[in-house]
Amino acid sequence: MRSASLSRVAAALGVVAALVLAGCSSEGADGDKGARSGSADTREVRSAKGVVKVPVAPKRVVTLDMGELDTALTLGVKPVGSVVGSPGAGFPKYHGDKTAGIKEVGAIGAPNLEVIESLKPDLILGNLVRDADRYDALSRIAPVVFSEQAGTQWRQNFLLDADALNKKAEGDRVVAAFGARAKALGSTQGDPGAVKVSVLRFVAGQNRLYGKATFVGGVLSEVGLGRPAAQNVDTFMVEVSAERIEQADGDVIFVATYGPKDKTDHDKVTGGPLWKTLSAVKAGRAHEVDDEYWMVSTGYTAADHVLADLERLLSKRS
């Protein structure tokens, strides 16, 4: 009887073991399928195109704008690929050697999808302004997290990209540190709102005065600095002719140039007689700044570089 009981127990245990092994085998097969389909180890992020399932720990990220590149590097994530600002421009120099090894995948607004696919990305970051018409094609390559706007909503974009990279805590620390630094700079200006900061940018065919609804406008607002009347507007920019350049005057003028200066009005304006009549120019407070981090890139590392320029070039006031 005892022998028969033991036999029955052994048989039962054999059945259980077989079921466990079968279950493990099935789980492994499903796990492999999940990994291939991107459903394993994912989390949900709400983007401009709705909820997107992204990897919990993205390892092969591609960025489609300079703001997304800046954000990834700021948060310690080196993309496998990224667009550049314009063909032949290379990556922004202010990043130093952090961009070493990143594959160029085209220029802003013109990414090369074949090159992107060859990199086998597990996450693509960008925005609808640049690549709305490529969203479906990109989504067939990897999960895509797009923001609604580009530079005008750079702070919101940073938080969205930080969430997509699963770096929210790190992102919050970056935002807090920047805010503290901006506030400290503002405190050196007495009443910072009384300091009228003008931002003039030369691009081919246009001379632009930048309003508050811009990346650099947001940085200046964080510091609490004022703007001249023509730029104290909730718009992207106001175009100004060489003959009306007096609209660019302020307590200080920061001048950026996109691309080669000889393709713009830079030399015509800054070498002309009207330029010399501006109060900021006469006081020696017109400064050339780096277009790459004042204008092209729209992230917190770029913003920190803008703050460094402001700290260096703004006179302390009591």
Residue that finishes a domain, picked among 113, 135, 166: 166
- Domain co-membership, 157 together with 201: no
CB neighbours (10 Å) of residue 106?
18
- Its domain, for residue 197, covers 186-313
- Domain co-membership, 156 together with 192: no
- Domain co-membership, 156 together with 46: yes
* pLDDT band at residue 316 under the 50/70/90 scheme: low
25 found inside a domain: no
Q: Among residues of the chain, what percentage have pLDDT more than 90?
A: 85
- Domain co-membership, 119 together with 230: no
The overall average pLDDT reported for the chain is: 89
225 found inside a domain: yes
Q: Locate 31 and state its tokens.
A: 């796990």
- Domain co-membership, 162 together with 229: no
Assess whether pLDDT exceeds 80 at residue 12: no
pLDDT tens for residues 221-235? 999 999 999 999 999
- Domain co-membership, 191 together with 129: no
- Domain co-membership, 153 together with 225: no
- Domain co-membership, 86 together with 157: yes
- Domain co-membership, 129 together with 195: no
* pLDDT band at residue 56 under the 50/70/90 scheme: very high
Least confident of 23-32, 238-247, 282-291: 23-32
Tell me whether strands 110-111 and 103-107 are parallel, antiparallel or unpaired. antiparallel
pTM across the whole model: 0.86
- Domain co-membership, 159 together with 226: no
- What number is the average pLDDT over the span 290-299? 97
17 found inside a domain: no
- What number is the average pLDDT over the span 108-131? 98
308 found inside a domain: yes
pLDDT for 207 equals: 98
What residues pair up with 125 in beta bridges, in sequence order?
63, 145
* pLDDT band at residue 17 under the 50/70/90 scheme: very low
- What number is the average pLDDT over the span 179-198? 97
Residue that finishes a domain, picked among 166, 196, 213: 166
* pLDDT band at residue 40 under the 50/70/90 scheme: low
60 found inside a domain: yes
pLDDT tens for residues 134-187? 999 999 999 999 999 988 899 999 999 999 999 999 999 999 999 999 999 999
Q: What Å distances lie between residue 209 and 104, 191, 260, CA to CA?
A: 31, 23, 19
CATH code: domain of residue 212: 3.40.50.1980
- What number is the average pLDDT over the span 47-71? 98
- Domain co-membership, 159 together with 201: no
Comparison of pLDDT for 76 and 16, the residue scoring more: 76
- What number is the average pLDDT over the span 69-89? 97
Q: How many domains does the chain fold into?
A: 2
pLDDT for 102 equals: 98
* pLDDT band at residue 20 under the 50/70/90 scheme: very low
37 found inside a domain: no
pLDDT for 270 equals: 97
33 found inside a domain: no
> Which burial class, exposed, middle or buried, applies to 62 when counting CB atoms under 10 A from its CB (0-12, 13-18, 19+)?
buried
pLDDT for 11 equals: 42
Assess whether pLDDT exceeds 50 at residue 304: yes
Residue that finishes a domain, picked among 166, 194, 218: 166
Assess whether pLDDT exceeds 90 at residue 21: no
- Domain co-membership, 205 together with 89: no
- What number is the average pLDDT over the span 295-313? 97
- What number is the average pLDDT over the span 307-316? 92
304 found inside a domain: yes
pLDDT for 151 equals: 81
